[in-house]
Amino acid sequence: MEDVLAVVGPTATGKSGLAVELAYRLGGPDRVEVINADAYQLYRGMDIGTAKVTKAEQRGITHHQLDVLDPGEDSSVATYQEQARADLEDIMARGRRAIVVGGSGLYVRALLDHMNFPGADSDIRASIENRAQIKGPRALYDELNAKDPQAAVSIGPQNERRIIRALEVIELTGQPYSANLPRQEYVYPTFTIGLDFDRGQLDHRVAQRVDLMVEQGLVQEVTELAPRLGRTAARAVGYAEILDYLAGSITLDTAIEQITANTRRLTRKQMGWFGRDPRIEWLRGENETLIEDALAAIAAHDQGLRKTQSHEPVRRSLGS
């Protein structure tokens, strides 16, 4: 059985296009299928703002985990893990090869790596949320830092939702939340390709991409989705800023500037996540020989000849 392939990296590096091209070069629609690992592409209707691969761009390659959630639903990494792994195992059972593609590091790792998801307790969560209202989110972060410094560093003081979840897991299990973070150990034999550009080039690509989204109708898309957007979907970069514009709190020009800045910030975070993984074979996205480079790396891996040298210069270019 051929190993699973994964294509990862920051936003705007061309991962989806590369995945489709690789699928064709490795056997086409009858041999290869793609599994999405982008958290916001799970949502129906969130197309332009997530740069979701269109039916035409899929070129007949079956794509899984696209358009599986309504915009009002809160996404769950645990649910994604269960459903995406079922897709992956079905693909493998049919003798086909899977390509996992996405920039949401947590979702990629939930699918491919050993990662546990503790249960939930609504009473515990309600108690923590009540403390958040009384004391403020900073107090919760300080509490998490005292109980699990590793988790506090990983989550940061701004992500109130994950802080609450971390404290809930600690109280529920009696173990540090960080004990449930993913280990760099594949569940399925996997070869991962990372796409990267130097920082200046990637920043330029992000600006071009945001301008194109606006031209394609991002404002109209968000306007139509606004009444149905849930808490999770409304926080997506590109959607949160246009919602502020629609509410009259900022101008459209300011919203576009914020989308560009926030997307660039996102690319730094993504590279901070993926750049720490020594298993990734990094390729330069601007290379004219990218497809051939990727195919050569896959062939070398499949033949047991994968090089193991690190790619520190790439990680330094975008690392946070």
Binding site for substrate, by residue number, is 11-16
Q: Return phi, psi of residue 191, to 5°.
A: -120, 125
Structure-block tokens of residue 264: 């660039």
CA distance 279 to 35: 20
Cβ atoms within 10 A of the Cβ of 130, count? Answer: 10
Q: Buried b vs exposed e over 192-229: b needs ≥16 C-beta within 10 Å?
A: bbbbbbebebbbebbbebbeebbeeebbebbeebeeeb
Contacts of 273 (CB under 8 A, 6+ apart): 105, 106
Query: Which amino acid is present at 305?
Result: L
The binding site consists of: 9-16
The binding site for ATP consists of: 9-16
Rounded to the nearest 5 degrees, what angle is found at the Cα of 261, between the Cα atoms of 259 and 264? 105
Q: Give start and end residues of each alpha helix (H) in the chain.
A: 15-25, 55-58, 77-93, 105-112, 122-135, 137-147, 149-155, 160-173, 199-216, 218-225, 239-246, 252-274, 290-302, 312-318
Pairing of strands 281-284, 190-196: parallel
Nearest partner of 276 among 228, 314, 245, 304, judged by Cα:
314
CB 20 within 8 A of CB 57: yes
Contacts of 60 (CB under 8 A, 6+ apart): 28, 29
Structure-block tokens of residue 169: 């897991």
